Structure 1
Amino acid sequence: MQANYLSEEEDLRVAVDAVKVARRIAEADALKPVIIDEYVPGRQYQTDEQLLGAARRFSQTIYHPTSTCKMGNDDMAVVDCRLRVHGIKGLRVADASIMPLIVSGNTNAPSIMIGEKCADMIKQDQTHG
């Protein structure tokens, strides 16, 4: 999956501004005594161009990709309500990609629940169908 991070002009500006804001927070009187040094990107990155280069080098998402296999019956839907892939017999998707939106917490527990629910549906289909 190619997420195209930092591919839009607005993303570039926000990345540079985020480092500047984090630095201002770290330099606040309340934090300054406990801040030893800047670890990433590092004080050697000062200009906007340098900060952007650091963002390209060091940035990563903390989120797990989700919500790429829409559930439903419309033209954009990949799976139906029983997680069966439209148009491919015998194939289901049972992971975080069927989530309509990313959850606010870790995706592990919801992904386990999705897998367990799918297993139950497969058993039901084998028994009744």
Structure 2
Amino acid sequence: MSTEYDVETTIAGLRAMRKIVRQAAFDPYRGRGIWPTPAVQSDGDFRAWHELSGGTTFHPVGTCAMGDGNEAVVDEQLRLRGLAGLRVADASIMPRIVSGNTNAPSIMIGEKAAQMIPEDRGR
């Protein structure tokens, strides 16, 4: 949320959400607005609300690229390039953020690393 585009997109999304929820089909389900409160109406109000409570819901990934290119930090066996005996086995090796929670893929990466380490020792 560090650019004007991010903030404008967030405000547009909140306005669209409110428009959708005001539709008659939601009458039986809609309660009072709680976050942001109904008092938040103008762009200035949204900006102030955003500064106090805005943030992301995704976990960072991809800070330690896996692969065989020049930018890759770890190889396909999760071995850190340039430092023998160290592997990276967490969400940082993912090339992109997944659309769901990062927990299950991170567990899978750890389990795969746990399988590869003894296999490497046998070579």
Tell me the TM-score normalized by structure 1.
Answer: 0.86
Task: Determine the C-alpha separation between the residues in 2 that align with 1:109 and 1:7.
Answer: 29
Runs of 4+ in 1 over 3 A off after TM superposition: none
The Cα offsets for residues 36-60 of structure 1, whole Å up to 9 and x where unpaired, read as 1111111121110110221232223
Match of 1:41 among 26, 36, 41: 36
Question: Following TM superposition, by how much is the alpha carbon of 1:9 offset from its aligned partner in structure 2, in angstroms?
Answer: 1.5
Tell me the equivalent position of 2:86: 91
Take 1:69 and 1:109, find their aligned partners in 2: how far apart are those partners? 18
Contact 1:41 1:58 in 2 (8 A): no
Matched, 1:9 2:4: yes
Instruction: Using CA pairs under 8 Å that are at least 6 residues apart, name the structure with larger relative contact order, 1 or 2.
Output: 2
Alpha-carbon distance in structure 1 between the residues aligned to 2:55 and 2:2: 14
Greater Cα offset, 102-111 or 12-21 = 102-111
Partner of 1:34, secondary structure, is coil
The match for 1:29 is 24
TM-score scaled by length of structure 2? 0.89
The one-letter code of the counterpart of 2:113 is: C
Alignment of 1:61 onto 2:43: no
Alignment match, 2:112: 117
Percent identity between matched residues is 45
Structure 1 unaligned blocks of 5 or more: 1-5
Q: Which residue of 1 aligns with 2:96?
A: 101
- In 1, Cα distance between the equivalents of 2:50 and 2:63? 25
Instruction: Please give the root-mean-square deviation of Cα atoms over the aligned residues, in Å.
Output: 1.5
| Alignment coverage as a number of residue pairs | 123
